[in-house]
Structure 1
């Protein structure tokens, strides 16, 4: 696969394309050099698709050390055993420096970290993936209610609800007067949607608060009880995940650590893929990520 950036360098420096790729291969490693890493602090695990249509997923393992994102590995697929195999290669001296592992809700990543590092390791469920789950449940109710209202309301009245989806996804303080009016009209037709909307906001507010793990655990438990007492079943899928991954979700409040650094790197990788017209070789992908993160500081004159 021809890389557009490499091809540009080849033309500008009057070097053959293969010569440029050879230089990259010789000057950069295809895997992490542990002897150059002093500590790890926080590990982030995420996944990215190498092909369109969410195909050929690979795992991206990174660390956040003193505010700097470091690529640790592109171990291949996202199977638990694959991730586990890599985590076992982390030297003992560096394992002692790990303060936590941030992950989305994928069981393969969470279980791999637990099996390698043991019960004492703090596994943190990324709060934005948590929010994605309960908002997805709410969105399911929204779609259901909008279908009902489309059947029951006149065409004129239903037309006045235009823009409701956008308004529901906005923060309350960013709503325009027009959007507030749309929501008022919508909730007049669907009190259950207003109730679920308020519960969503309440849970988000809990995650925004600077509170301890014990206080967060108490507030989330009360939230769950109140959801049940109000007869809301739209959050059932989220509540199942909450029951199963309560510890990992609550661990967020210990240091308010997210895997935002891993997600940010994912955005860089997407740019790299577009720039290179796709990358399917994971060794080359590791090299490109490494160069994007460290290349300038290491090789710029």
Structure 2
């Protein structure tokens, strides 16, 4: 086997012809000198068009490549400048690296794959790059991977939510396709202006083709959906409806505990009410024997708190009836629950009744279409796991790049691996 054959295998780019290779003992790196073949020469680094040569630029430069035998490997080549009619004087393109990057495409691809499979610090240590360089490579790789891909094509049923990714009220807006189960859009921030940016990217024509949009009860989502997607049915996520009931129940539990504490007739009563949260929150079928006994004790000693618990379970039962008996029975059960909540004389559940009545159309739409935000909630959980696994990120762009690479259905693969 000829030495040039080995060098070609190391370079891994058919448009680059290896000329020489040497080992620099002081820095412990391998350098492979390459030159561009005829068709790849004198192309604009931005658009790739053939252009006339302008000058030699800054001379020869190096690009970090995949390691060889545990040693850093660099490709070295001339970096002339060309004169592009569209982009002016720019450095000529090289096929093994992205314009303006100091790493080869294979190097970027391996970093992207590692980042989706392990922690960011482990990726940085294995690839021997700076911690921040991993985030920059992810952003660059994702931007390049997005070329020619329209993730918003064919959207019909989507879910919208927000997720906190850093302390200090730092949020991102996430849009998921219910049909493909992939993340299709993410942006830093939340609110009406951010969601309008999604509909701007989607376009008016495609926005009118949306049929269903699931979300929580956030008013900013409802307002923008009504404004930009008038043909879509907004479905109120069942998880958030039941969570509202749980919050109302916990508010009443705290009120009962404070009443018992102020009366001070029986200190044990206040203490037992304070520690009854888990028994009240859990589903009846999941209660332990001890928690069931505590519920029975609450029913005997605090009928008002027990009534709040039954109201919470009654709202959960609406969704169970929907699965077992259908839409009509579920709507009738919801009407009965609203009537019950109206006369319960518990302030937290009176407020909840008004909220549910305000979102009644979206709630019944979710029941009729069997649509929930469970998919996007699982996406949020995976996003938090990705952030924790990466031990934090400096910018939202790096978080978005990694989440999209992991969850958009187009995960990176290891470079130059043959399928077996």
Output the TM-score relative to the length of structure 2.
0.62
Task: Give how far 1:34 is off.
Answer: 5.2
Cα distance in structure 2, aligned partners of 1:288 and 1:12:
18
- Could you report, residue by residue, the CA deviation over 1:236-277 in whole angstroms, capped at 9, with x for unpaired residues? 221221122111121111222111111111112212222333
Cα distance in structure 2, aligned partners of 1:10 and 1:181:
53
Say if 1:157 and 1:108 are closer, same or farther in 2 by CA, change over 3 A: closer
Work out which of the residue numbers 371, 391, 398 in structure 2 matches 1:277: 391
**Which residue number in structure 2 is paired with residue 101 of structure 1?**
213
Task: Give how far 1:115 is off.
Answer: 0.8
Q: How does 1:36-51 map to 2 (within 5 A)?
A: 38-51=153-166
Cα distance in structure 2, aligned partners of 1:30 and 1:244:
44
Alignment RMSD (CA, Å): 3.0
Work out which of the residue numbers 299, 322, 335 in structure 2 matches 1:187: 299
Q: Which runs of 5+ in 1 are unaligned?
A: none
Greater C-alpha Rg: 2
Whether the 8 Å contact between 1:84 and 1:113 is mirrored in structure 2 is no
Q: Does 1:71 align with 2:184?
A: yes
Whether the 8 Å contact between 1:162 and 1:182 is mirrored in structure 2 is no
Cα distance in structure 1, aligned partners of 2:302 and 2:132:
64
Cα distance in structure 1, aligned partners of 2:341 and 2:367:
22
**Which residue number in structure 2 is paired with residue 28 of structure 1?**
142
Work out which of the residue numbers 261, 286, 294 in structure 1 matches 2:375: 261
Q: Which has the higher helix share?
A: 1
Cα distance in structure 2, aligned partners of 1:99 and 1:145:
44
**Which residue number in structure 2 is paired with residue 144 of structure 1?**
255
**Which residue number in structure 1 is paired with residue 330 of structure 2?**
216
State the structure with bigger RCO (CA 8 A, min sep 6), 1 or 2. Answer: 1
Cα distance in structure 1, aligned partners of 2:293 and 2:413:
57
Q: Does 1:123 align with 2:234?
A: yes
Whether the 8 Å contact between 1:88 and 1:116 is mirrored in structure 2 is no
SS at match of 1:48: strand
**Which residue number in structure 2 is paired with residue 200 of structure 1?**
312
Say if 1:237 and 1:280 are closer, same or farther in 2 by CA, change over 3 A: farther
**Which residue number in structure 2 is paired with residue 173 of structure 1?**
285
Cα distance in structure 1, aligned partners of 2:128 and 2:392:
24
Whether the 8 Å contact between 1:42 and 1:65 is mirrored in structure 2 is yes
SS at match of 2:211: strand
Whether the 8 Å contact between 2:158 and 2:214 is mirrored in structure 1 is yes
SS at match of 1:29: helix
Say if 1:252 and 1:295 are closer, same or farther in 2 by CA, change over 3 A: closer
Task: Give how far 1:106 is off.
Answer: 0.9
Cα distance in structure 1, aligned partners of 2:393 and 2:132:
16
Q: Which has the higher strand share?
A: 2
